[in-house]
Amino acid sequence: MSFIDDGLKKRAELEARASLISNQAPTLYNELWENMQTYVEEAKSKGFEIFIDGGGYKRDIALQLMREGASASHRETFTLDLDVKKEQITAKGQRGVEFTFVLDVSDGGVVCLKHKENPITMEVASILILQQFLFPGLWA
């Protein structure tokens, strides 16, 4: 087998991997969003004023802050975004929210989320994001 055969084989493997991720990415984003919605609803029931805007694979989550001296319209936000080409889901914005979850294929051929090179469940990813957003600085 020559380097050309090796290159053709590797290219086919990478194309299959990219296709698998591209096909499964929306499902993973939706699963993450469903997990987050559960916690958002709980937070709302406990007095947090949270607003959601957007749809599809890009959503803005805003928290109404009522600190002394703050304007009634002051909200801090982060965006949950799926980027299929970059093979990642990001949560970025205010209050220290800065997370990148890489979409990868496990040894078993299943598309999964990774955070800091380790597989992570949707539950844990949801908690990481919302814990930082709702309670910045409490868990360093």
**Residue 34: which domain range?**
3-134
Within a domain: residue 140? no
- What's the pLDDT score for residue 125? 98
Q: How far is CA 32 from CA 1, 16, 74, 121, 134, in A?
A: 43, 24, 27, 9, 17
Stated pTM of the model: 0.89
Given pLDDT bands bounded at 50, 70 and 90, which one contains residue 127? very high
Task: List CB contacts of 21: < 8 A, sequence separation 6 or more.
Answer: 84, 87, 103, 104, 105, 111
Task: Round to whole Å and give the CA distance between 21 and 115.
Answer: 16
Closest CA to 136 of 95, 105, 92, 104: 95
Let me know: does 22 contact 29? Beta carbons within 8 Å: no
Tell me, what CATH number does 21's domain have? 3.30.920
Q: Return the higher-pLDDT residue of 137 and 116.
A: 116
Whether residue 23 is predicted with pLDDT greater than 90 in this model: the reply is: yes
List pLDDT tens digits, range 48-77: 999 999 999 999 999 998 766 656 668 999
Task: Round to whole Å and give the CA distance between 11 and 16.
Answer: 9
Within a domain: residue 18? yes
Number of domains in the chain: 1
Within a domain: residue 29? yes
Within a domain: residue 139? no
Neighbours of 33 (CB within 10 A): 18
The helix or strand, by DSSP H or E, that contains position 88, with its residue range, turns out to be: strand 88-93
| Helical spans, DSSP H, in the chain | 3-45, 122-134
Within a domain: residue 120? yes
- What's the pLDDT score for residue 26? 97
List pLDDT tens digits, range 68-121: 665 666 899 999 999 999 999 999 999 999 999 999 998 888 999 999 999 999
